[in-house]
Structure 1
Amino acid sequence: MSRIGKQPVELPSGVTASLSGQTIEVKGPKGTQSFTATDDVTITVEGNVIKVDPRGKSKRARQQWGMSRTMVANMVHGVTNTFKKELEIQGVGYRAQLQGSVLKLNLGLSHDVDFQIPDGVTVTCPKQTEIVVEGHDAQLVGQVAANIRDWRRPEPYKGKGIRYKGEYIFQKEGKKK
């Protein structure tokens, strides 16, 4: 049984959920989000609690059970709070700056990288070597942070590149004489 799927999702005050078929829509003070579940699970809204149950004992139904419950919980969290990913830039001359809705990255390439920030996400640069990605959609925040990180992933010899805050990069030993 899914340990995650068994847990009900509590709706905090100020948040409402409506169900139509397999689509659940959550409204809160910070916006509205919706999710369409597969036919392998059943979603029910009872008062201020949302429950997700599998429709069968198949492996796919059990997989969708935990995933659907997590998606609903992330939507409830997203309409009340924000999700946040912090990135650090390490390397000589590497820096980031914000110009309107474009993040300019100087990463030691022959050209500057202009990263267009999508709607629904806010990006800030408190320092030249820090990037903070925030938004109400957990998947979108994670994807934008991953796309920024892909421009220069941390390399294992000197550790230069863009990394998540607190991420440990295993350092390899260099050549020996």
Structure 2
Amino acid sequence: MHIPPYHKKSSVQRFLVGAFIGSVVAYFIFVYMHGSMYGQLLEENRNLKSEVRELEQQNDALLEDNENLDEQAKEPIKVETIEITIINEEDLPDKLIIHDLKELMKDEINHIIGKDLSIIAESDGLLEATIQNKVFTIDDFEFQFTVEKLYLTPTVKISVEATIAD
């Protein structure tokens, strides 16, 4: 049996060349699509790995902070600073006097800094009496204070009302 010589016909040659060129073009399209998809997956993988690393570091930091807080919770809370607010500042004659009065009051109760907060809380009436019974003198003016609010936290916050003593 004889195989007919189709390779000599131009229509068969065009078909074979078209199939070959089509397969080459399809291969390049496949390689491009596979490469771009693989690149996106690599980028997403790296982003997820970095996010996991950041979350692990954050978790370690929070666990360490929690351990530090547990250790600090065992220690008593101490008074760190004192903030004094004068409610009726506008009734006082001068801004410099306000600053000086705040400093004088801080000097009067400065001994509580570094003390255990529970001890100060037990004697909060004594702290109020210390401020209210003292007459502060600045520039021939005598001032007396009434404690309106007293917040006992590591930062002791005291709100006072000033009156000019007679």
Which category of TM-score, normalised to the shorter sequence, fits these structures? under 0.3
Give the structure with the higher percent strand: 1
TM-score (norm 1): 0.23
Q: Whose RCO is larger (CA < 8 A, sep 6+)?
A: 2
Give the structure with the higher percent helix: 2
